[in-house]
Structure 1
Amino acid sequence: MAAATIPIAAIAVNNAWSAFRAAGAAGLRDAVILREVAAARHGAAMEGLREILTNLARSRYLLALPADACDQHLRHLRELAPDRYSNFWLLDGEGRLLCSGLPARRGDYFAELDYVREIRQSKRFVLGQFTLGLVSGRAVLPAAAPVLDEAGQLQAIVGGSLFLDFFLRGGQATPNGDQNDVWLLDADGSVLPLGSARAEALPPREDLPQMLAAQEMSLVGTARGGTPYAWSMAVLDPGLRVLAGVSLAQAKQGAWLTFARRLLELSLFLAACLVAILIGVELGVSRPLRRLVARVREWAPGRIYEADPQAQGPYEVRELDQALVGAARALREREAALTHALHQRDLLMAEIHHRVKNNLQVVASLLNLQADRLRNPSAQAEFAVARDRVQALATLHRHLYLHQSFERISMRPFLDELSRQLGDALGAGPDSGVRIDIDTEDLEMGSDQAISLALLLTEAVSNAMRHGFPEGRAGRILISLHVEGDTAHLVVEDDGVGLDDAADGNSDGLGMRLIEGFAGHLGGEAEITGEQGTRIAVRFPLHRRDIEASARDGA
């Protein structure tokens, strides 16, 4: 249940943090708003000066007036707003004064002023740096516009200036209280505080070049006085910028309080939701599910699983109950189909093994008939060996279909029959003086290993009968098969003459090579000794897992 509240808690914390960030960002928004208000107010004054100067420069009619008429015209233009405009003047292309709205000596040379140098290079409207007016003697912001001829060459320069105290008076009406500050910055980076703007509220000196390089920029940081501030700067003109700053001290404190209050509210809400969820889940989900689980545990494959007529709880739980009813019915039908298919498979496998056994017996009979037609004893012996091998495989397949295991075989009855079969074929028995004894556990072995084991025994017993007891010598052949853990230990030994005294050097013959090959196929290695009789021992891993898997598949 606690895990179910994690998404709710995450959403709640995210909402609280968003509220904190929103409260913290309010100071930056206030700085932008304050900048826009100041830019609108002071930008209007700058735009008015720009329009006056560019219109005068575009009309070029001042150049056609006599000097006194030009002075009078500029003086009249200044007197339209004497609290705003300091003066208007006209310079020739070299920077010499032609006429002025305030009394000034004509012919004075002003080519070294910053705005004159710049306008001669750019031939466009420019703003100068904050300075003292040469004629008015008051702090002003100068501006100038070029008068161009038809070929675009500079003929004259029309200039004008705004009183800086006009901006200061205008700043009084700007909504900048104790927490707000507004400054003007010229192209040189000189700062003009408006109203009660404080120097300690300015951005750090290392941040000012970055702000001056951008057209518009907002920044949050620590002011020169150590107080957190938000600043926003915008361009009024390529040579003039307005910078607004808002203290974030109270905003951050309010943001933390808002964050804490929101977290408390959401914590209480989550606690109430958690209690409601726990009660609802217990009544609406857990109890019906426990009842359903108990009914499922009582059900076993093969039994009929019926729907609970008193089932309660959510729609999904009731649907799950119905789905389990359908699944149990499908399992029952599938089980019946698999049982039928398994029965058909058993019949088919039994028929296959039966036919293979019959075919192998036919082959053995053909080999026996062919051997009877031969006159060469060696050839007869080889055909007899081949017949015995085929007959051993036929016996194996007969045991597979008789016991209906198909993939595994019980070794004790198989070895008994195989030894009797080999004894009959090779002439062993009470009359011959050679008997075959079996010492084995009642164990099961996979058909693949049983085939290799049967062929190995056939070769070993055949070799013992043919070479170990010459000239009617009596003796005993012992076949021993035991299991130690997952390892089987097979021993075939006789008390005959042994390998060293065998008449034909049998140890290097085909039979011994086959025995070694069959031992390798079993997963072991044949140890053959022949000092006092012949002893063949093979240790190999018993593939019990294959047998168990086959048993499970057959079940």
Structure 2
Amino acid sequence: MRLLDTVGSRVMALIVSTTLPLATIASVLAWHSYIVATENSATRIINAAHRAKIDVQQDIGRSQISLEMFSDMGLPSSNIDHIARLLQSVSLNHYCSIALIDRNGKTLSSFSDITKSTIQCGGVSFPLSAGDKWRSISVVPKHQTVRLLAAGNISLIQVISPTSYTNAEGQPASGALVVVKILSLTTQSWDTRNAQFAIEANDAAAIWLVGSDKNPLLLFHSGDAPTPWPQNIIKRLTEDRKRNSIEDHFHDGNTYYAIVPVFNDINLVASSQRTASENYALHVFVARLLLIVSLLAIELLLVAFAAHSYLVDPLERLALSVAEWRRHNVFEPELPKAIPLEIRHLERAFRRATARLTRHETRLRRAAKQQDILIREIHHRVKNNLQIVASLLNLQANRISEPEAQKEFRLVRDRVRTLATLHRYLYPAGGVANLDIKAFLTELCSQIFLSYGQATNGRIKLVTRIEAVSISPDQAVPVSLIVGEVINNALRFAFPDEREGEISVSLTMQDTHCTLEITDNGIGMAQMSKNNGMPPRTKGIGLQLITGFARQINAKLDIRKDNGTSYRLTFEPAPSRKPAEGVRSLTETKNTIPRQVGPED
């Protein structure tokens, strides 16, 4: 059954097709408002990342410019404290360590703001041991270099600037000026200047610096920063480096991330959770979607109930009443009063049509019964008439004194009996039936043996190998007559002088072709001609009939005459038709017989 075969399914399809566009438009509008809200989150975190990037780059840039200025002036190793104080004043005391290093990495002079065994910078205290690590470099670079350092959760920047200085002997030498400072982004000043970022982030925002060989360093956080650092950020950074991607942004659940490059291989990562307005937009989207789905479902249920009650149910009852009329010839539909006028008109039209059809079927049944009786009577009379003709021929043959004439009468009698037997199989007492070729040929052969006073297992044995092949009545008549003619000839001429032997009849099916083979192991047709055991050429029509019948069914006929006689016919079975339409009369069969006379009977 197809999907839209019933009235109910078509009504539901019509309802859905009219309401679905409105529901789709409402869903798209709700989804659009949600997308706008989420895009605001992404835009906000990207802008925050760029503001932080600018602050970090400006902070590092000021340190680089200051170091380049002092490096170009040439530095006396004995006056490093004075230079360090100048740098501290320029950076607002954000330098944690300032040191002059020779080309071998040895510290010549250093300066740190030490208070109570701690190093002070940017309002943050560090242990004294940290200073040695900050000043330690293995090789003096040829160009100014910026590195990322970590002191606990504090992000530090190490700037190494190549310079020349005057050593203790008063000789110029090459070295480097190494400064370590805390980024201003970690101080309260950035919170104040970018307070909007922290407030909108709903106390759950953070900014990190991360290098290719460093763990992420937290620069700023509002609320609880994610700990440990999410693995999806590390995976995303690794993929961005492989793709040489400059910037990236994405979200993981309720958290939005933005990645921007700062300098060298150091990236800045900013994160922020969904804000209250964004959560509200999401909730509104879900509520609208549920409301749309609920209203659509309620509407479909109500319309489906109404359509079933006032349209589908009356039609189904009408269809059931028609089916009941077909079984019992009674058409009495029980339809509710509140049905459409069109269905009521349809019910009246059905009532009139069923009444007419009932009367017409009654007349047809009466006519069919009469026709069946007539056909049965015709078949019965044909069968009786064939039997009467065969009996008359037999009586006439018994009254004839000439042996040759008597034989010819008996041959005609056997042919009529063959047709009578075939007619009995094609038209049994119950009416028209498919031909049981196996049972028919077996009975036909036994009948011919009995007419010659031979038992099928006596001096001449009968061997049958017949498959259940379906052939049409058009082919059944020639096949039966061919079998009758060949077996008659074999019983008459193939076994003279009480010779014992065997007659074999086989009917097989191979692929699309049927093979009928009738063989005897008698003396053979060639030997019969030598012994004058066969009638003259001008007498008998046996072989002529066999050739004509084979041509009628378009069969290929092969006759073997030595070491017995074998008839082999190969033909293609025709599609089965009603026997009443397929059987030809004996007159039509004889009309197909060629005029040439065969060599033997």
TM-score (norm 1): 0.42
Q: TM-score, normalised by structure 2?
A: 0.39
